[in-house]
Amino acid sequence: MDLYRQRLDTHILDRLGSRRADEIAVDDVRRLVERLGRKGLAPGTVTSCVNILSGLLRFALNRKLIPHNPVRDLDRDDWPGSKRQSEPRYLTQAELDWLLAQLGDTFRLVVYVCLYAGLRISEALGLRWADIDLKAGAITVERQLGPTGERAT
């Protein structure tokens, strides 16, 4: 939630916060996307900001405060690309072996779950034993561990 609030404050409200929701048009959203791209934000961050704005406008639409959500009028070309700005560096098998050897039993298990199930750390830490079906070889991810230790769905 902190990240959403930070993006709202830093990237959306500074430009559109003084405007009434019914005054925001698709061209305003396009200009927001362009401005965030010029600031050098990653395409995923720009998309996240547009999604946050869309959620706010959807809330206003559901409350009959606006007649239409202008984010819905964006063309496919208006959205930022999803290409990575840089290629991630993956650990080699030797580096993974060294890392796992450095960890105690508890953390080693968490890292194994992240590695082999493709989970984020917050998802792995949010697991309960009931989420793991050893017979079926399946893990059900229904929650994650939040920054203050709460399990959020």
Q: Where are the domains of the chain?
A: 2-78, 93-152
Q: Domain 2-78: give its CATH code.
A: 1.10.150.130
Q: How far is CA 150 from CA 91, 143, 145, 153, in A?
A: 30, 10, 6, 10
Where are any strands of DSSP class E within the chain? 132-133, 138-139, 144-145, 151-152
pLDDT (tens digit, 0 to 9) for every residue of the chain, 153 residues total? 688 889 999 999 988 888 899 999 999 999 999 999 899 888 889 999 999 999 999 999 999 999 999 999 988 888 887 555 567 788 899 999 999 999 999 899 999 999 989 898 889 999 999 999 999 999 999 888 877 777 777
| pTM recorded for the entire structure | 0.56
Per the structure block, which two tokens stand in for 53? 């704005």
Structure tokens at 76: 């496919």
For residues 86 and 57, give the distance between their C-alpha atoms in angstroms, rounded to a whole number. Answer: 32
How far, in Å, CA of 151 to CA of 147, rounded?
9
